[in-house]
Amino acid sequence: MNSALQIIALTVFICGIKIAQAEPFVIYDNGQTQSIDKYTPAIKSPGKASLIRSATRPTKIKIAQLPVSTAALTPGKVHRKEANLFMDTPFFIVGADPHSSQWLIQHRNKLKALNAIGIAVNVQTQEQLKLLQKSAGGIPISPIRGGKLAKQLAIKHYPVLVSGRIIEQ
């Protein structure tokens, strides 16, 4: 999970660097252009080598410490609905309950085929988290508080698989 989140964070960061390196677009030039250097002596622009070095350094993503609980999400039935999410990597949300464990066992081949990322929103102990990962066939699952995520996706129950176009159980 950490490596997947690091890859996502790194991709977003690199895209930001590409935008930051774009040449300025001149709208109007009256020929009396002056350098801005005298107005910004304390600000130094990092060189390209510095930007590339910082982009290739591993980024640490803060993962919630256990226990993790999300009052907005509970085990239950999720009705399939269309979603217009712009994302390449599907993810699934589970908790430390028998329904989630059974769902993981039933869907682990599909989750592996999709390269889905696992999120545990209600888990108390490391043992519960390891049991979830075992049920998922070794797919990494990270504990994350999911209140904002639940609100964004308009969901109240898990387990659930979220892909770019569909939210389903």
CA-CA distance, 164 to 169, in Å (whole number)?
14
Give the residue-averaged pLDDT of 75-104. 89
- Domain assignment present for residue 151? The answer is yes
Residue with tokens 């590409």: 18
Alpha-carbon span 104 to 97, nearest angstrom: 11
Q: Are 90 and 163 found together in one domain?
A: yes
Same domain, 79 and 152: yes
* pLDDT, tens digit (0-9, with 9 covering 90-100), for 131-149: 999 999 989 899 988 888 8
91 and 148 co-located in one domain: yes
Residues sharing a CB contact under 8 Å with residue 152, sequence separation 6 or more, in sequence order:
none
Query: What 3-state DSSP class applies to 51?
Result: helix
* In a domain? residue 28: no
Kindly state whether residue 146 falls inside one of the protein's structural domains: yes
* One domain for residues 96 and 164: yes
Kindly state whether residue 68 falls inside one of the protein's structural domains.
Answer: no
**Cis amide linkage into residue 159, ω under 30° from 0:** yes
CA dihedral 108, 99, 168, 76 (to 10 degrees): -170
Q: In this predicted model, what pLDDT tens digit does every residue of 17-59 receive, in sequence order?
A: 555 555 666 777 777 777 776 766 655 555 555 545 544 555 4
Residues 95 and 49 in one domain: no
Residues 150 and 100 in one domain: yes
Specify the pLDDT at position 46.
54
**Is 51 a member of any domain?**
yes
* Residues 17 and 88 reside in one and the same domain: no
DSSP readout, 128-153? Answer: HHHHHHHHTTT--EEE---HHHHHHH
Q: Greater confidence, 164 or 15?
A: 164
* Any domain includes 55: yes
Are 104 and 128 within one domain? yes
Query: Are both 84 and 57 inside the same structural domain?
Result: no
Q: How many structural domains does the chain have?
A: 2
Looking at the structure, do residues 101 and 44 belong to the same domain, yes or no?
no
Closest C-alpha to 90, from 15, 163, 13: 163
CA-to-CA distance for 6 and 13, rounded, in angstroms? 10
Domain span including residue 43: 1-21+37-62
Average pLDDT score over the chain: 78
**Has residue 161 been placed in a domain?**
yes
Same domain flag for 57 and 117: no
Which tokens hold the place of 164? Answer: 């770019």
Q: Are residues 99 and 17 in the same domain?
A: no
Residue 29 is assigned to a structural domain of this protein: no
Cβ–Cβ under 8 Å, residues 123 and 143: yes
